[in-house]
Amino acid sequence: MHSGISMASTWNRWKKERESQIRDLALTFYTLRRSPLSVIGLTLVGLFLLVALIGPWIITHPGDIKGAVHIDQKLKPPSRAHLFGTDEVGRDMYSRVVMGTRLSLQIGLIIIFVAMGIGVPLGILAGYTGGWVNHLIMRITDIFLSVPGLLLALAIVGALGPGIKNAMVALSIVWWPGYVRLIQAKTLALREEAFIEAARSVGASKLRIIFSHILPNCTSPIIVKASMDMGMAILFAANLGFIGVGAQPPVPEWGSMISTGRNYLPDFWWMATFPGLAILVTVLGFNLLGDGLRDVLDPQSRGQIR
């Protein structure tokens, strides 16, 4: 009983402390709701997350994920038994596409978090320290940004060898410089702000300023970028899967499924069509959501490139 009361009071205190943030969040959702495209984006992303979450329970042929072979069932068109048809060895495409959702979510999350883990600290370091540290970090960032991302990823996977893990490593290496650029610019701007100046003048330590002033003010652009990047990272992973250096069959990755399905065109069109639609819908969802979030959270950057 006692702990219940204290929990309630802690909750209330927490709620009071966070009042403004909670209001911001409510406002965010309110504004998002008013833009139909954002609602579509939110719905698609919600659907994607739901399918990723409950995937194992809604698939019809669990064995087909791991690479079961049913030659007698091969290349069957979409039907009641196989919603999206079957592939060249008789695996159920529907089950594989659904499980590809979960894989894509993992791929996207891992790439984004690794990229953020490298990019955000480096960006803050560069922006806040300035001087030669800034120069060095930004020059290195420029090198990575000087070459088209997909190409660099291809080069890295080419060296590491094909495979889904290597593809994720490669894409993480390609992705972090974008976060450095974003956060460095933001930190540079924040450093000149009056409230940071004030914190400095009352003797707040560097770390304190970074954690309680700079980082919180970077969250909005980070969230916006991360939302957009989720879609793009999934797309890039599929790109690598398609050209044969990413996920390898029978891993149910959308890109590599399309790559296989392509050999069975035009008669067995479903093999390449459904995984592609899955990519399209997913990336579309994250892009629309990211757009909507940007309009709400970071309206100044609207005209800019993300």
> Which CB atom, from 142 or from 197, has the smaller least distance to another protein?
142
Under a CB-based contact definition with an 8 Å cutoff, are residues 150 and 175 in contact?
no
CB 278 within 8 A of CB 97: yes
Site residues for another protein per CB under 8 A = 37, 139-140, 142-144, 146-152, 154-162, 231, 235, 238-239, 242-245, 255, 258, 262, 265-266, 269, 272-273, 275-276, 279-280, 283-284, 287-288, 302-305
Residue with smaller CB distance to another protein, 86 or 259 = 259
Phi, psi (degrees; rounded to nearest 5) at 162: -65, 160
Give me the least distance between CB of 286 and another protein, in Å please: 8
Q: Between residues 122 and 258, which has the closer beta carbon with respect to another protein? A: 258
Cβ proximity to another protein, 126 vs 210, nearer residue: 126
Rounded to the nearest whole angstrom, what is the least distance from the CB of residue 164 to another protein in the complex? Answer: 15
| Total residues belonging to the chain | 306
Distances (CA, A) of 8 to 5, 16, 209: 5, 12, 31
Q: Which is nearer to another protein, 7 or 151 (CB)?
A: 151
CA distances from 141 to 128, 173, 222 (A): 16, 11, 17
Euclidean distance between CA atoms 131 and 137, whole angstroms: 10
Shortest CB 274 distance to another protein, Å:
11
Give which of 183, 186, 184 is closest to 130, Cα–Cα: 184
Nearer to another protein, 159 or 194 (CB): 159
Note whether 179 and 120 are within 8 A (CB).
yes
> Hey, how many other C-beta atoms are within 10 angstroms of the C-beta on 190?
21
Shorter beta-carbon distance to another protein: residue 127 or 241: 241
In the complex, what is the shortest distance from the CB of residue 175 to another protein, in angstroms, rounded to a whole number?
13
Closest CA to 252 of 58, 62, 47: 62
Least distance (Å) between residue 162 CB and another protein? 7
The DSSP secondary-structure symbol of 269 reads T
Least distance to another protein, CB of residue 126, Å: 16
Compute the least distance from the CB of residue 231 to another protein, in Å.
7
Phi, psi of 278 (to 5 degrees): -60, -45
| Of residues 306, 290, 296, the one with CA closest to residue 42 | 290
| Of 267, 228, 258, nearest in space to 240 by CA | 258
Burial status of residue 216 (CB atoms within 10 A of its CB: 0-12, 13-18, 19 or more): exposed
61/172 with CB nearer another protein: 172
Residue closest to 293 by CA, chosen among 230, 221, 231, 216: 221
Minimal distance in Å, beta carbon 226 to another protein? 17
